[in-house]
Structure 1
């Protein structure tokens, strides 16, 4: 019984460690030094694939050992929740599309730039929410239309990890864009769309 709870947690910790390491600036600096400029284009696809592959064992463990069922949402409400999860699944691709410059390793490593190409450029979904990845992650897990003990433990730990990751990500964005991002933080909420209004789209 205890091992069925510890094993998914261990798998989540392993994922978090790998995910955090590969997202860190020292690791990106090492990759750029070893692989050169070509790492700029390859890093994000490889990073995303690695994240998915390291999550698969956790999904399998939860499937094999879900634990005691806490609740199941009946129809039609469950389909509304699934619909919300599908919408959340669209947010991450939109976030990549609307701000590809945020993920450029060169810009992340060099800090605030005077070049016009390295400005913040608030577009699309970022006009309404600062961290669409955090928003989509929270919606995706907490709109699951059923819940078990092991899922609840993993979801709670995942929520903490997502929030800590969001704080770290915004610290890096401040380092990357400087005062421009600090002003943006004052006008757009981290995860609640439109709570502080919206931001005018940049050219």
Structure 2
């Protein structure tokens, strides 16, 4: 049991290290030097594929060694939780569609009020919540209708990683959009949706 937990945590740390490195600005600057304008087109598909491949060992170890069961939520509550997970799973693609300019490498490397940085252009889901990826990630993991010891450990570590990643992403958005983003932060919460969109 203990050894499987150590392997699981180690696998998650390796995933987080690779994920963080590939998302870093120094790596993106390197890509821009090597690929030029093609970096923006190739980065997201390649990044997503590498993320899937590197999370597979974590899923495999967790599948083989889930640890003791802590609880299983009975029906009908189980189906409500799964429904919430499905709704949250639709948020991430929607977030990409609502703000593709936020994910362009050239814009992330630019300063505020430059042509490359672009305009913040708040629309869609971003009118309700600043970090829909954090929100959807937390909903998907914590609405799992069963829980084991190893799953709980992974969920706690993942929550910490997602939150720290959100802080880092926000600092990058402030660097990209300046006061425009700071004003947006004052009106919209990071992951608790507003009742009325801005």
Which TM-score bucket, shorter chain as reference?
A: over 0.9
Identify which range, 2-11 or 124-133, moves more after superposition. 2-11
The structural deviation recorded for 1:56 is 1.1
Dislocated runs of 4+, deviation >2 Å: 113-117
For 1:19-40, what per-residue CA distance to the aligned partner results, in whole angstroms no more than 9, with x for missing partners? 1000000000001111221111
Matches within 5 A, 1:46-125: 46-115=46-115, 118-125=118-125
Query: What secondary structure sits across from 2:28 in the alignment?
Result: helix
Query: What secondary structure sits across from 1:122 in the alignment?
Result: coil
8 Å contact from structure 1 (residues 131, 166) kept in 2: yes
State the TM-score, normalizing by the size of structure 2. 0.97
Give the CA RMSD over aligned residues. Answer: 1.3
Change (3 A) 1:144 1:179: same
The structural deviation recorded for 1:13 is 0.3
* Counterpart position of 1:198: 197
The structural deviation recorded for 1:97 is 0.2
* Counterpart position of 1:153: 153
Query: What secondary structure sits across from 1:118 in the alignment?
Result: coil
* Counterpart position of 1:184: 184
8 Å contact from structure 2 (residues 110, 117) kept in 1: no
- Ranges in structure 2 where 5+ consecutive residues have no aligned partner: none
Number of matched residues?
198
For 1:73-110, what per-residue CA distance to the aligned partner results, in whole angstroms no more than 9, with x for missing partners? 00011010000000110000000000000001001101
Change (3 A) 1:166 1:117: closer
The structural deviation recorded for 1:117 is 7.8
* Counterpart position of 2:24: 24
The structural deviation recorded for 1:57 is 1.1
Identify which range, 69-78 or 50-59, moves more after superposition. 50-59
- Ranges in structure 1 where 5+ consecutive residues have no aligned partner: none
The structural deviation recorded for 1:175 is 0.3
Query: What secondary structure sits across from 1:110 in the alignment?
Result: coil
State the TM-score, normalizing by the size of structure 1. 0.95
Query: What secondary structure sits across from 1:71 in the alignment?
Result: strand
Change (3 A) 1:6 1:116: closer
